[in-house]
Structure 1
């Protein structure tokens, strides 16, 4: 559990007096509203705006921004896609002061990055929730910098949770391919909120805002957040090892529905559910387990199917993303049992996983 460092008693007392003064001068309608305002006011100092200059050639703007928050004295967590391809990173605190920063470590698989801030100590840090599940209907508070405007808040509920085909729907290459489940919220989420915290009614981080599904959140769309347990695990691994520690197969996979249906029928496959091993990477767990890749001619045309993965530990998979996510649920050193279709029959292959290279 990543816990905020306690503030000095005098600082906490001063903060409390300032909040009481604010409540006294504001029109607070109820005890519930006062509690919510207190949570938000205590949390905002930990939230930052991140910005930098894009290095990619097709950038549509000179400055790109997103959100993040302090989880320790000099490090913040954000989305990988917020800092990808940026130079001259700066972090702006909620009081307007800006400091240089650089990327400490990244986890492309779940779209997370840790940013090291130079010359500043966190005014506050946020605590991750230890709850294993988040229930629909719970209060959801989003803090961040939508449209580059700092210190903005939106309020809603948790709409639900479940799997999300991040890659195929958002088209982000291999970013996020290892996300198994996400949280959905009707709290307003806009460009610039990415990387900011999703809080519960107690001010605990229950997720990290990552994307929007179906148009503007709050106008028919839904905000998408990475669940806190997944983010906490990633932060611990990045700080200890410098790289993610989720299971990795080491094979290039192709969805069966991308292949010629006649080729599948001739191989005895009656369904397009599953993923074919196209290439086995040298020195990978897939190679050590004896998985077979496809054979292609010099023009790249498929000549012979590779092993077709149809289940992982007995769980049927629909496509390559299912395979990757099921593998990523495991830690390096663990074994998984793959059910594969080879030479007209199903066989079981046991693979001992390693960390992604």
Structure 2
């Protein structure tokens, strides 16, 4: 016979999930190995109960528990980097987190050109780190740590179909201060219209949709985990739209599914396995509109094939590159890519991001414009490099 608990759900906010399950099982008499008195004692000794006067809602309890469990897996990454604009060298830092016993996920831009890499653990101990593999296209890198084992590890949850308004926790080392957390909501999911990295526009160029959050992501948070209220990684903190201090800005994160797939590929192959043309594309908006008009192109949607890598998918499919004279002046248009699998493309970035969703060996149909008419071309994807 199943007996009702002495209180009805929802449970008091200070109950930990473990304590709730323990009390349920003991009260119902279905698991009698632990007496009720011991169950109640476990609950009363729970760390969460010590904070009970301050935790008034289930959301607060969940948030505190997620931060408590995840914090030991998050690290501060430090090193020396040279400023490409001034030439001066100085210290810099970012964040990361353990996903295995000795490997850490962070942003590529955190470790780009970084030397003397140091990984500082939750308890303050520091160990040398080395770059194991990188995925520049989605701004992700894997570090191996030497001489230490992860005190905790984080696992990925799905970043598909996340509802706007759900709670998100961000943990990292903003401005070099390790072990700090912030909390907010998922503000939205989609592409960004912000300008790409001027110093290296290829960084993050293969990311399509991004996660946006009002949780504070500040300088130094880059590479840290973005967690749901079950403690699963749904994103990796990447950048800020707006004020670099985070005040009045919006946080940007790389979707966890994209990162998880990349990490699996890097572990297995050492390089990313997203599809690409192995060709250089140029937005039509960057070309002389008078030239486009002369050849009958009235729309600026799409992208021109500027260069084609020998032996790559574009070359094998017969895509034609642009022709330029010795001074670099355009004297002949390359093929114009208008659509991918029937979906119209706006620019080179959208084409790159769309193709990156395919895997090596996948066949993709491109609609191109050549010599005044549209053609269909089938391209077999190869991994980008």
Report the TM-score when normalising by structure 1: 0.91
Q: What pairs up with 1:186-225 in 2 under 5 angstroms?
A: 186-216=214-244, 219-225=247-253
Deviation at 1:266, TM superposition (A): 1.1
Match of 2:279 among 251, 259, 262: 251
Q: CA 1:191/1:242 → structure 2, altered by over 3 Å: closer, same or farther?
A: same
Q: CA 1:43/1:112 → structure 2, altered by over 3 Å: closer, same or farther?
A: same
RMSD, aligned α-carbons: 1.9
Matched, 1:40 2:67: yes
1:185-236 deviation line (CA, Å, top 9, x unaligned): 0001110000000011111111000011122475332100011110000000
List runs of 5+ in structure 2 lacking aligned partners.
Answer: 1-41
Matched, 1:97 2:140: no
For the 8 Å contact 1:110–1:176, the answer to whether it is kept is yes
Deviation at 1:298, TM superposition (A): 1.2
For the 8 Å contact 1:109–1:176, the answer to whether it is kept is yes
Q: Secondary structure at the match of 1:63?
A: strand
Deviation at 1:330, TM superposition (A): 0.4
CA distance in 1, matches of 2:193, 2:117: 30
1:30 corresponds in structure 2 to 56
CA distance in 2, matches of 1:69, 1:88: 19
CA distance in 2, matches of 1:61, 1:226: 28
For the 8 Å contact 1:217–1:223, the answer to whether it is kept is no
Deviation at 1:161, TM superposition (A): 0.2
Return 125-134 or 264-273, whichever deviates more. Answer: 125-134
Deviation at 1:28, TM superposition (A): 2.4
For the 8 Å contact 2:134–2:271, the answer to whether it is kept is yes
1:181 corresponds in structure 2 to 209
Deviation at 1:132, TM superposition (A): 2.3
Q: Secondary structure at the match of 1:208?
A: strand
For the 8 Å contact 2:159–2:235, the answer to whether it is kept is no
Return 257-266 or 25-34, whichever deviates more. Answer: 25-34
Matched, 1:306 2:317: no
2:78 corresponds in structure 1 to 51
Return 318-327 or 21-30, whichever deviates more. Answer: 21-30
Deviation at 1:250, TM superposition (A): 1.2
1:13-57 deviation line (CA, Å, top 9, x unaligned): xxx999934641674232522332121111100000001111455
Aligned residue pairs total 341
List runs of 5+ in structure 1 lacking aligned partners.
Answer: 1-15
Q: What pairs up with 1:1-357 in 2 under 5 angstroms?
A: 20-21=46-47, 23-24=49-50, 27-32=53-58, 33-55=60-82, 57=84, 58=86, 62-130=90-158, 132-165=160-193, 168-171=195-198, 172-216=200-244, 219-357=247-385
For the 8 Å contact 1:187–1:217, the answer to whether it is kept is no
Q: CA 1:37/1:106 → structure 2, altered by over 3 Å: closer, same or farther?
A: same
Q: CA 1:19/1:161 → structure 2, altered by over 3 Å: closer, same or farther?
A: farther
For the 8 Å contact 1:67–1:144, the answer to whether it is kept is yes
CA distance in 1, matches of 2:45, 2:352: 48
Report the TM-score when normalising by structure 2: 0.85
Q: CA 1:129/1:60 → structure 2, altered by over 3 Å: closer, same or farther?
A: farther
Q: CA 1:263/1:25 → structure 2, altered by over 3 Å: closer, same or farther?
A: closer
For the 8 Å contact 1:340–1:347, the answer to whether it is kept is yes
Q: Secondary structure at the match of 1:268?
A: coil
